[in-house]
Structure 1
């Protein structure tokens, strides 16, 4: 696929103009990547080549350090394959005073690189209370009132730094096994934070995992949804995961994250709901696949992109 032809894929050219505000993209999660470095993950050059082959041209870079951190090299590698970078991603602890210096340092580094390559968003992923790999508890499952208040204070503080110092927008990302998982958690954080600095990355899969309804959430938070991760989870496995208290990583290992049209949400209804917001949105295709058989992501991503195009997101 040529660079020019890849470039036509990111923006809908659907005869129905409702969908033309939605721009499809991809990130390394769709290729089974959760960590900057891990011997179970596909090498970044191969993943990037395959992402272009699958027909994507908009990129969220995923774990900082998986792709090159140096802006000129990152720009060159992306441009060579017809990509433009729209977002970076970072993990950072907000609810512990002693962790703030490291969180700020990490996000300043991510923001500096991504501002330099023309990105618009930084996605804040909450730290998990169970480790991604060992599945052991590493933090309190429920935050104390003091820790929660600090979480809110530092979310606003970090969003302000990212906006005022780097010209980027920060979006908080709900996540399984984190302190922002359920609809109640999400309502609580967005009632408390300042929309000038903190808004929502609507991750449809994690909202299903948190036993919420992403389509209802679109209707509830039309002004706070600035960015979207689109993916599906198997509701039966989600139910079992919560009933048996599986770690999130175990749920993924057992196949809870599925390829649309399998699972929830209903993608046609979701895309329609997003289109009805009538605002520009990046909609980033994801599927939690770590660790993935390296032969699986490419055909799986092609099938996903083609199905979403049938729903109005992107083009064939």
Structure 2
């Protein structure tokens, strides 16, 4: 894979992800082909990308390297899903996570974004399990996160970054903090998704300041506060909230992107800041103009500054 240049402001490195092109699933006829996503990512001015759902981009390392490298792109991290609180799924989940970690490492990346399952169906909004974990499930979740993170770090040189998510058991500020307190910073850390934290009525800036050493990776995203209020007033599922436009492009919504960038820039670590705007489903022509405007806005607040040769984050 060719070496790209990072777009950085101090310690921050800007990228984007398939999510910003309306991609939620490995295969879906309402999603753009991966080649169009990669081409438009370049057109929008990005040079770094997260892999997105395993199977959307090529899973053969050589093919992935060709598709990404031929466009002057480079991979910031991989993405996977798994239920740390379900012991009966452990073996299968670890096996799948290993495959994603192997591809991530082969692409030269060192972060694996781990997304917990939603307790409501992604398409229908129906509850599939209780929204509350028991104390025993919480304790197991922390231990399992450590165990998985240790495997990833020692065998693949990839760091586990758990991603808080709407309609998951790690959504609210209290749940995020409980995960951090139940797990070991050597092996299990946080992908700070600013939009999902806001969706759960949390405070991303507070998390940055109090848990700086646990933030290994960031998704920068904004949510419409009026639609968030509708979520709680009407008991909406996340899929319905996305259809209503809960995820908005900057500088609209919360939290304030400039405040987030300022807080992250004070940390003593190099951090990928990956743009996400949940758009599923959307018309094929929708994502590119948004991606261009978003990169231009982030540049205006300093996140698209100087370039330097890529180095490990």
TM-score when normalising by structure 2: 0.95
Aligned equivalents of 1:162 and 1:278: distance in 2? Answer: 23
Aligned equivalents of 1:166 and 1:279: distance in 2? Answer: 21
**1:121-132 mapped onto 2 (5 Å cutoff):** 121-132=111-122
Structure-1 residue corresponding to 2:309 = none
**1:229-244 mapped onto 2 (5 Å cutoff):** 229-244=219-234
The unaligned stretches of length 5 or more in structure 2 are 307-313
1:261 matches 2:261: no
1:80 matches 2:70: yes
1:244, distance to aligned residue in structure 2 (A): 1.3
Structure-1 residue corresponding to 2:267 = 277
1:137, distance to aligned residue in structure 2 (A): 1.2
Structure-1 residue corresponding to 2:42 = 52
Structure-2 residue corresponding to 1:291 = 281
Aligned equivalents of 2:65 and 2:35: distance in 1? Answer: 14
Aligned equivalents of 1:119 and 1:280: distance in 2? Answer: 13
Aligned equivalents of 2:268 and 2:186: distance in 1? Answer: 20
Structure-1 residue corresponding to 2:241 = 251
Confirm or deny: 8 A CA contact 1:24 1:58 kept in the other structure: yes
1:146, distance to aligned residue in structure 2 (A): 2.0
Secondary structure at the aligned position of 1:62 is classed as: coil
1:11 matches 2:10: no
Structure-2 residue corresponding to 1:16 = none
Moved over 6 A (4+): none
TM-score when normalising by structure 1: 0.94
1:278, distance to aligned residue in structure 2 (A): 3.2
Structure-1 residue corresponding to 2:185 = 195
Any idea what the Cα deviations from partners look like across 1:94-145, whole Å, max 9, x if unmatched? 1111100111011000011111121110010001101111211112211122
Structure-2 residue corresponding to 1:15 = none
For 2:103, which of 108, 113, 120 is the aligned residue?
A: 113
1:223 matches 2:213: yes
Aligned equivalents of 2:142 and 2:180: distance in 1? Answer: 9
Any idea what the Cα deviations from partners look like across 1:173-220, whole Å, max 9, x if unmatched? 000000000000011110110000001101000000010121122112
1:315, distance to aligned residue in structure 2 (A): 3.8
Confirm or deny: 8 A CA contact 2:138 2:182 kept in the other structure: no
1:239, distance to aligned residue in structure 2 (A): 1.5
Aligned equivalents of 1:163 and 1:278: distance in 2? Answer: 21
Deviates more, 1:256-265 or 1:237-246: 237-246
Aligned equivalents of 1:106 and 1:146: distance in 2? Answer: 25
Deviates more, 1:76-85 or 1:137-146: 137-146
Aligned equivalents of 2:82 and 2:165: distance in 1? Answer: 13
Any idea what the Cα deviations from partners look like across 1:36-74, whole Å, max 9, x if unmatched? 111111111111100111011111101000000010110
Secondary structure at the aligned position of 1:11 is classed as: strand
Secondary structure at the aligned position of 2:68 is classed as: helix
Structure-1 residue corresponding to 2:156 = 166
Aligned equivalents of 2:153 and 2:74: distance in 1? Answer: 20
